[in-house]
Amino acid sequence: MVEFFIFIFIVVILVALGWGLLGMLKGGKSGSDKMFKSLVTRVVLSVILFALVMFAAYMGWIEPNNVILDAPTQ
Amino acid sequence: MSAQEYYIPNGTYWPIVGSVGVSTLFVGFANQMHGASWGGSVMAIGFAILVFMMFGWFGQVVNESVNGNYNNQVDRSFRWGMSWFIFSEVMFFAAFFGALFYARQLSVPWLGGADNNLFTPELWNGFSATWQQVAMNTPAAISQAGMEYSVPVKLVDTWGLPALNTLLLLLSGVTLTFAHHALREGKRNQIVGWLVATIVLGVLFLGFQIAEYGHAYHDGLKLTSGIYGSTFYMLTGFHGFHVTVGAIMLTVILYRVQKGHFSADSHFGFEGVAWYWHFVDVVWLGLFVFVYWV
């Protein structure tokens, strides 16, 4: 479940970043505004995601990537 | 120049100077890796040529911009050029993230007997499909221990330096956003302060990344440490290279801000570099989440 939220966060962050790129491509006052707002959104979401990952790890909801995936039967 | 005229730049020798610099740098690097005594010297010459090229080429473009040679058409060309560059960067990192996904989710479990690979345990008896596969034993050590295949012997710490580095890079995104805001408000002193903070945070990140590599290498994690070592160093190494390039670009922007090259309404150079830094920031966030945690 936590992994799902993390994945959604990353997708939204990528969308915000892409939105910012479109603003930069457009140029002018409206493009500049669009870019700035998108990048602010990107930064805020990224900080929240980092806090979420750290909190989830602290609570034991997620574990580092060191689990055995498919160990063969000996 | 009027808005209708199509700007055609003068012929320039800087691209070929850059090509010679990069070629010299990599010939020196490759030979250094093969133990040639002259490799380091050739690398230094290549690096010097690159620095010379950057000063010359950047300076030429900046001068053309400041002298008013560029019109709206050129502005659009710059924006499209930056966008295609970004597209190539996205594809570049997508390939490495794809390799990470393929190795971790598909090929390593298959080798361990997942899905319908009924004979895999027979073919690869004793192979343990783990991720991270860090610090694989050397062939000699495997042979000495009487084992048939290598096994993972140590795991990388996910807290500590990786988490600290993530925090540093996220903070640099915050400081850069403040610099961007100050630029839009026309407050030059604030822009300089926030940009300096961003560059310092980027350099700190690189310093800790070098320390992290030192730890990992000491623990036996190398490019040759199986598929995990390969993807780990390729992803984090190229990301570190991008942070280095971003820090250089931000330093150039800092110089241009101090020279008063940007206004609250016209600052594409800043926007392009800022977007690049945010992109590099997001790539690291993806690395931190997918390489270390999820």
The domain locations on chain B are 1-70, 77-293
| pLDDT for position A60 | 84
Residue A72, pLDDT > 50, answer no
Q: In whole angstroms, what is the distance from residue B194 CA to residue A5 CA?
A: 32
| pLDDT for position B1 | 56
| B195 contacts B247 by C-beta, under 8 angstroms | no
* CA distance to partner chain B, nearest, from residue A72 (Å): 6
Nearest alpha carbon to residue B110 among B98, B101, B121: B121
* CA distance to partner chain A, nearest, from residue B14 (Å): 26
- Which residues are within 8 A (CB) of B283 and not within 5 positions of it... i.e. 6 or more apart? B93, B239, B242
Residue B191, pLDDT > 50, answer yes
Q: Poorest-confidence range of B33-47, B111-125, B218-232?
A: B111-125
Q: What is the mean pLDDT of residues B209-225?
A: 81
The pair of structure tokens assigned to B188 is 């030059």
Q: Looking at the complex, does the CB of residue A68 fall below 8 Å from at least one CB of chain B? A: yes
The pair of structure tokens assigned to B16 is 């070929």
Q: What is the DSSP letter of A24?
A: H
> Where do we find the tokens 């300076």?
B59
The pLDDT-based confidence of B71 (bands split at 50, 70, 90) is confident
Q: What is the mean pLDDT of residues B38-47?
A: 96
CATH architecture of B1-70: Orthogonal Bundle (1.10)
Q: In whole angstroms, what is the distance from residue A71 CA to residue A64 CA?
A: 18
Which of chain A's residues have a Cβ under 8 Å away from the Cβ of B155?
A: 64, 66
Cα A69 to chain centroid, rounded: 25
Q: What is the mean pLDDT of residues B43-60?
A: 95
Q: Which of A48-57, B14-23, B284-293 has the highest mean pLDDT?
A: B14-23
Residue of A12, A30, A34, A43 to mutate, interface with B, max B Cβ within 10 Å: A43
State whether residue B130 is helix, strand or coil.
strand
Q: In whole angstroms, what is the distance from residue B33 CA to residue B63 CA?
A: 40
| pLDDT for position A27 | 85
Nearest alpha carbon to residue B275 among A48, A31, A49: A31
Query: What sign results for the dihedral spanned by CA atoms B262, B265, B269, B275?
Result: positive
Facing residue for B131 by CB, picked from A40, A50, A65: A65
Residue B30, pLDDT > 80, answer yes
Q: What is the mean pLDDT of residues B36-47?
A: 95
State whether residue B36 is helix, strand or coil.
coil
* CA distance to partner chain B, nearest, from residue A43 (Å): 6
* CA distance to partner chain B, nearest, from residue A46 (Å): 7
Residue B142, pLDDT > 60, answer no
Q: Which amino acid is at B66?
A: V
Q: Looking at the complex, does the CB of residue B142 fall below 8 Å from at least one CB of chain A? A: no
Residue B214, pLDDT > 50, answer yes
Residue B17 neighbours by CB distance under 10 Å: 17
> Where do we find the tokens 């596969």?
B133
Q: What is the mean pLDDT of residues B70-79?
A: 87
Nearest alpha carbon to residue B31 among B51, B50, B46, B48: B46
Q: Which residues pair with B136 in a beta bridge?
A: B152
| B112 contacts B128 by C-beta, under 8 angstroms | yes
| pLDDT for position B87 | 93
pLDDT in tens, A8-66: 999 999 999 999 999 999 988 899 999 999 999 999 999 999 999 999 888 888 877 65
The pair of structure tokens assigned to B63 is 């001068």
Which of chain B's residues have a Cβ under 8 Å away from the Cβ of A67?
A: 130-131
Contact A65 B177 (CB under 8 A): no
| pLDDT for position B89 | 94
Q: Looking at the complex, does the CB of residue A28 fall below 8 Å from at least one CB of chain B? A: no
- ipTM, two decimals, is 0.88
- The kind and range of the H/E element at B209 are helix B188-218
Nearest CA in chain A to B280: A17
Which of chain A's residues have a Cβ under 8 Å away from the Cβ of B102?
A: none
Higher pLDDT, B130 or B15: B15
Contact A6 B281 (CB under 8 A): no
Residue A71, pLDDT > 80, answer no
| pLDDT for position B150 | 53
The pair of structure tokens assigned to B201 is 């945070």
| pLDDT for position B273 | 96
Q: What is the mean pLDDT of residues B233-251?
A: 95
Q: What is the mean pLDDT of residues B162-175?
A: 94
Residue B263, pLDDT > 50, answer yes
Q: Is the peptide bond preceding residue B132 cis, with omega within 30 degrees of 0? A: yes
Facing residue for B294 by CB, picked from A13, A62, A68: A62
CATH topology of domain B77-293: Four Helix Bundle (Hemerythrin (Met), subunit A) (1.20.120)
Facing residue for A20 by CB, picked from B75, B158, B275: B275
Nearest alpha carbon to residue B266 among B83, B78, B86: B78
Residue B121, pLDDT > 70, answer no
Residue A74, pLDDT > 90, answer no
Q: What's the mean per-residue pLDDT of chain B?
A: 86
